[in-house]
């Protein structure tokens, strides 16, 4: 399954590293997702290099891996300071330091300025720890969470992500986006106005949209083309299509400077129409991601998605008529989900002219409204993070209480049913193959075998549980 899944260079770490380097610090980066390295090997490298600070960034699915790395580092380098960052530590900094006792700090929120302040403090030429906004730290046996740091307003003032940290060829896009092996990623903005119950960007990590200038974006794209030779650009903004005029300005600039570059973005179905998508297509848009989530409008309201099924159909139909590839994401198990609404979602997905669709089990991640409203700890005071993995389609969270007439474990089989009903249709297979390049067909094949692998895991699990 890992072979079919995409992996991307962390632009967040690239931004932080570039900012740290700009203030005179050296940075070494290890990514165990793409580099064959063990926690012991990482710890030995840290003991050898004796860094001022070790930083570990992770999301909830990587909690136990991050904890293991911290424990191993602490064992071989007892005095080495360890700071944690990323989505999981950012939404629960105090709890994270209590649960990962080997770590010393958490940088929560945007880390470029906070990490520089922490490094300066550790070197003895900066502020006291208590004065660093966006920092959680240990004061003896107490965990102190400082005031949050305001989001960075002038994104143009930040240096571009440092892509020299690691060989960029180690990363690849997801199989269904594999229209070129020469690809790169970029953020043109930060923040999201959404309030979706299943996303921490809509709750604990919510911040208003801040945009880079089109000139700054184009300068970074120039660098990606010139230095890395990219042919396919993945725009990683939460919602690139939120402001129509900015999208039009981007298209005009990109078409003038890189008319042969193809690109991908994430869009909201209520912010696009045929005319806008046509302009984006003319400027090189190859495919677009839509978070459709459900085929029932009441479920969408409870999820605070802010869209309707009618808007989803209109957006997908327009993209399909223009020859733009579409990927529709659906979440099974949203708050209030019943067997009937889930069936409506599967039927709705099959009725849309989507190039591909993804079905996942709702995971109430820490930092989301779903976690606060619909998650109940199985053992009071304890969270088992092992099942907080959404993309596999084989995990579920037993403590999730948002369903009606369903149990969390039911959702796993229903994901498999949804995938089979969507993909194992002659019309869908022909749609995916239509206008596909050889590399895309190979990507589809890998995704198909990943789907079969998921089914084998599910069957093995069912047999083990029934034994």
234: pLDDT strictly greater than 90: yes
pLDDT band, residue 3 (cuts 50/70/90): very low
pLDDT: which is higher, 322 or 448: 322
For the chain, what are the domain ranges? 11-145, 172-466
Give the side-chain half-sphere CA count within 13 A for 415: 28
Residue 433's pLDDT is 86
* Structure confidence at residue 392 (pLDDT): 55
20 burial type by CB count under 10 A (0-12 exposed, 13-18 middle, 19+ buried): buried
- pLDDT value, residue 300: 98
Domain 11-145 matching CATH 3.40.50.720: the answer reads no
pLDDT score at 195 = 94
Residue-level pLDDT at 169: 87
Q: Is the pLDDT of residue 393 over 70?
A: no
Report pLDDT digits (tens) over 243-292: 999 999 999 999 999 999 999 999 999 999 999 999 999 999 999 999 99
Per-residue pLDDT of 192-201, as tens digits, reads: 999 999 999 9
Residue 78 has φ and ψ, to the nearest 5°, of -60, -30
Tell whether the model's pLDDT for residue 205 goes beyond 50.
yes
**Was domain 172-466 assigned CATH 3.80.30.20?**
yes
Q: Do residues 134 and 122 touch, judged by C-beta distance below 8 A?
A: no
pLDDT digits over 408-463, tens only? 999 999 999 999 999 999 999 999 887 677 766 776 676 677 767 766 766 676 66
119-164, pLDDT tens digit by residue? 999 999 989 999 999 999 999 999 999 999 999 999 999 999 999 9
Cα–Cα distance for residue pair 148/159, rounded to 1 Å: 23
- 36/194 Cα distance (integer angstroms): 37
Mean pLDDT of the chain: 92
């Amino acid at each position: 399954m890992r072979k079919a899944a995409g992996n991307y260079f962390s632009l967040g770490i690239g931004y932080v590293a570039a900012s740290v380097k700009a203030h005179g610090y050296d940075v070494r980066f290890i990514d165990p997702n793409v580099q064959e390295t063990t926690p012991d090997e990482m710890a030995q490298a840290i003991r050898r290099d004796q860094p001022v600070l070790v930083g570990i960034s992770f999301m909830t699915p990587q909690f136990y891996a991050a904890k293991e790395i911290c424990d191993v580092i602490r064992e071989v380098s007892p005095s080495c300071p360890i700071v944690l960052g990323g989505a999981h530590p950012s939404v629960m900094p105090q709890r994270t330091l209590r649960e990962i006792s080997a770590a010393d700090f958490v940088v929560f929120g945007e880390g470029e300025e906070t990490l520089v302040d922490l490094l300066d403090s550790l070197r003895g030429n900066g502020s006291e720890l208590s004065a660093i906004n966006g920092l959680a730290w240990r004061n003896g046996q107490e965990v102190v969470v400082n005031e949050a740091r305001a989001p960075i307003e002038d994104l143009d003032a930040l240096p571009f992500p440092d892509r020299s940290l690691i060989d960029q060829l180690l990363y690849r896009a997801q199989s269904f986006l594999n229209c070129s092996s020469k690809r790169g990623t970029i953020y043109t903005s930060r923040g999201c106005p959404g309030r979706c119950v299943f996303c921490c960007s809509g709750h604990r990590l919510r911040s208003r949209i801040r945009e880079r200038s089109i000139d700054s974006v184009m300068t970074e794209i120039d660098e990606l083309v010139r230095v890395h030779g990219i042919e396919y650009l993945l725009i990683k903004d939460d919602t690139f299509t939120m402001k129509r005029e900015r999208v039009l300005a981007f298209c005009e600039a990109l078409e003038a400077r890189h008319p042969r570059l193809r690109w991908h973005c994430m869009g909201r179905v209520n912010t696009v129409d045929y005319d806008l998508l046509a302009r984006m297509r003319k400027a090189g848009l190859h495919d677009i991601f839509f978070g459709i989530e459900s085929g029932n409008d009441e479920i969408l309201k409870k999820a605070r998605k802010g869209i309707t099924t009618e808007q989803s159909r209109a957006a997908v139909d327009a993209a399909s008529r223009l020859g733009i590839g579409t990927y529709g994401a659906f979440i099974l198990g949203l708050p209030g989900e019943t067997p009937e609404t889930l069936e409506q979602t599967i039927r709705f997905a099959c009725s849309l002219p989507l190039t591909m669709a993804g079905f996942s089990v709702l995971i109430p991640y820490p930092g989301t409204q779903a976690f606060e409203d619909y998650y109940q700890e199985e053992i009071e005071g304890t969270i088992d993070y092992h099942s907080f993995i959404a993309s596999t389609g084989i995990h579920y969270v037993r403590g999730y209480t948002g369903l009606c007439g369903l149990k969390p474990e039911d959702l796993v089989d229903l994901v498999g049913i949804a995938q089979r009903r969507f993909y194992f249709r002659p019309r869908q297979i022909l749609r995916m193959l239509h206008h596909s390049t050889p590399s895309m067909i190979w990507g589809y094949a890998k995704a198909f075998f990943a789907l079969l692998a998921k089914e084998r895991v599910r069957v093995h699990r069912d047999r083990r549980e029934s034994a």
